[in-house]
Amino acid sequence: MELQSLIYLFVSISFTIYFSIALWTKASSTKDFYIVKDLNHPSLNGISIAIDFISAATFLSFAGLFLYSYSIVNYFIFGVIFGFLLLSFLIVPKLRKEAEFSIPMYFNKKYKSPILTNLTAIIVLLITFLYLNAQLKASGIILSRIFQITFDKALFIALFIALFYASVSGRRNISYAFIFQYIIVFISIATPIIFLTLNLTNSYFPQLLIFSSLENNQEFLVAIKDSFLEFNIIEENSLINNILLAITVAFGVATLPHILIKFFVTSNIENSKKSALWGLFFVTIIYSFIVSLPELSAINFSKNISNTNYETYIQDNYIDENSIHKNGKWLKTWEDTSLVSFKDLNNDKNIALNELDFNPDTIFLINSEIANMPNWIIALVISGALAATLSTMTALIILLKSTLANEFIFKDKKPNKFILNFLLAIIIIFATFFNFKDFTILQIVILSFSISAATIFPILFLTMFKKIDENSIYYALLISLILIISYTFIYDYFNFFIRPEAIGVIIGVLSILISFFCSKFIFNKRV
């Protein structure tokens, strides 16, 4: 079947399944959404955690990491793994004791302070807003390829989808639904990576690529270095930035609101710990495939694009010196989306990789087309990316909805659905069109980690000290929130050579020090 027809077919199936799940398993309460029904086993809760964590950031952004920092991959993955361990052994046991449904509810029960509860709820909304912004941006990229339209137009379709999900309240965590979603996402990620591994190297396993070589017997590590040199790398992170980023990601992952809430209703603390470890297991399986994706992408681009004639290539008529046909239709298709462009800098009518301007978040989707993979794999990748995005989007929307209803608007009153949906629609519209200049999807997600690491993580840590009062925690939380937001906006004009995505851990430590200072010298509490 022709490629575009297959894409429509696979995407239609994906839409039908997800919309059916959204309608059929519509949650009637907050508790319904967060409890895994029927088979409340930690492994099943772990799958639900993994599928909500493996968002568009994992699916789309990893492949293009090398375009702005090729050293960031291992630090990010280390941060994720360490974050899940913190979640399992430090954060979850603490939260599970209170058995509340949200972080603001936890602090309300702990300190009986409305002002602290409201500030915590605002931070949850901000983190969720950023995460949702990343998912909507991803949806726009995917939909621009599906319908071959500009990214700006595709955003309106993404907005419509998000508003639809908002109107149906969300879905329960029914175990078999999450198992199905995880399998689809796993196959969509693993299949093209295995294909690239078999076609570009002498290895059968993506996890062992570091020990492999290419067809011409060139060592894989040497090939990576040569391929990276052909691209315009935006900037390379310093070692201190990477270390701080890894710690920030760890603290952020350990306190992500839409992940934390999964543990408030498990049957006991032991099952909560096991759920977190199962979540780490299922996330690690997928990360074991994508860890080498940036390198495979760079080699794939170098092998199949470099020194091809532009006009012949985009007309899909290019034959290389080995009489191998190279698919070039993708370039014209993606140029029409405004996410990829070619500028012939030396006027030789040939394509050099440093003459192609890619949105880094398009690399994973483009990979399969450049590598001449079968049409069904290309369609599978696109529909799988959409599935991953929709899964996380639903979790974020229900968290926004429950936070608005329970912490701000209605509290103990019965929610007015019209008012709730109206406010939720405003947030979704703003999240759709809010733009972080030059930020990739993964950078936006890490920024949400950074805010969480600067605010929620330190105050959860401070709850271990019984003599630190709620006023000290409140002012520490407020100052850290102001600092992280201010630094993000002034970074381009003034900074300490530390990126906003990595500054969270420093501000988090500062928040702890502020709370100790306030407790001892201002509010006269002995710590």
Residue 69 CA to its chain's centroid (Å): 17
Structure token pair of residue 104: 């603001």
Cβ proximity of 378 and 368 under 8 Å: yes
CA-based radius of gyration for the chain: 23
Rounded CA-CA distance 122/439 in Å is 23
pLDDT number for residue 33 = 47
Report how far apart the first and last C-alpha atoms of the chain are (Å, whole number): 70
Q: In the chain, count of helices (H) and strands (E)?
A: 24, 8
* CB 96, CB 269: distance < 8 Å: yes
Inter-residue contact 30 to 369 (CB < 8 Å): no
| 493: number of Cβ within 10 Å | 6
- pLDDT < 70 regions, the chain: 18-19, 21-40, 66-70, 98-101, 168-177, 216-217, 221, 225-236, 264-266, 322-323, 409-415, 524-527
User: In 315-410, where does DSSP find H-type helix?
Assistant: 329-335, 363-370, 375-403
| DSSP H or E run through 349 | none
219 contacts 201 by C-beta, under 8 angstroms: no
pLDDT at 72: 80
How many other C-beta atoms can be found within 10 angstroms of the C-beta atom of residue 15? 15
* Domains along the sequence of the chain with CATH: 3-198+252-299+373-456 (1.20.1730.10)
pLDDT digits (tens, 9 = 90+) for 88-103: 888 888 777 766 667 8
Alpha carbon separation from 152 to 383, 433, 496 (Å, rounded): 20, 9, 34
d(CA 432, CA 421): 16
Length in residues, the chain: 527
Spatial separation of the C-alpha atoms in residues 52 and 50, rounded to whole Å: 5
Max Cα-Cα span within the chain:
80
What global pTM score does this model have? 0.90
* pLDDT value of position 229: 62
Residue 493 makes CB contacts below 8 A (sequence gap 6+) with: none
- How do strand 308-309 and strand 350-351 relate by DSSP bridges? antiparallel
**Residue closest to 35 by CA, chosen among 178, 187, 231:** 178
Strand pairing category for 340-342 and 325-326: unpaired
Burial class, 417, CB count within 10 angstroms (exposed 0-12 / middle 13-18 / buried 19+): exposed
